[in-house]
Amino acid sequence: MINELDVIEQVVKVIQEGLNNYLDESYPAITDKQVVIDFPNSDKMPYSTMLYVQPSYSEYEGLTTNSDRVDFRVSVFILVKKDTKSNLTLKRFAYYNALYNLLRCNTTLDAFVDRTFFNDTTFYPAVEANENVQGSESSLSVIFTKDF
């Protein structure tokens, strides 16, 4: 049975394994250590570019007596720091566009869920009032069937 924890782990795995395929060569590739299930904290970032994945909420709709359709909302935060302000802006959008294209081309997260799509994205020119850290927050809907 697939549950929300399995789904969020699959989101992380797909990003870790596929994001670099959609990233322009002029930007540093990410490693699996740069995509984590955690809440973003710019003071504790181990790398200058990090992607944080967090569950937001779920909506359930009964399909049958043995399954539910789940709309699981996941937030993906991208934080970049340790560069000039103009370069931070370019990096923020480079990683965001790579994430967007990755998930547009892999809506089933490697056939793990029914569908994944972006709801919205907020871009931050400063994080925690620090203009030397920029970021974005993307809200994803991950649709899957939860069997009992």
pTM: 0.95
How would you classify residue 129: left for phi > 0, otherwise alpha for psi between -120 and 50, otherwise beta? left
* Residues 6+ positions from 22 with CB-CB distance below 8 Å: 97, 98, 99, 101, 102, 105
pLDDT at 97: 98
Query: pLDDT tens digits, residue range 62-104?
Result: 888 888 999 999 999 999 999 999 999 999 999 999 999 999 9
Domain that holds residue 48: 4-147
Mean pLDDT throughout 7-25? 98
Among 1, 3, 34, 10, which Cα is nearest to 140's? 10
Report the domain count for the chain.
1
Q: Residue 60 maps to which CATH number?
A: 3.30.2000.10
Q: Is the pLDDT of residue 147 over 90?
A: no
39-52 burial, b if ≥16 CB within 10 A, otherwise e? ebebeebeeebbbb
Q: Kindly report, residue by residue over 126-139, the tens digit of the pLDDT.
A: 999 999 999 999 99
Torsion of CA 115, 120, 126, 128, to 10 degrees: -70
Pick from 30, 37, 31, 42: which is nearest to 12 by CA? 37
* 26-45 pLDDT per residue, tens: 999 999 999 999 999 999 99
Residue 60: the pLDDT is: 94
Residue 57's pLDDT band, with cuts at 50, 70 and 90, is very high
Judge whether residue 148 has pLDDT over 90. no
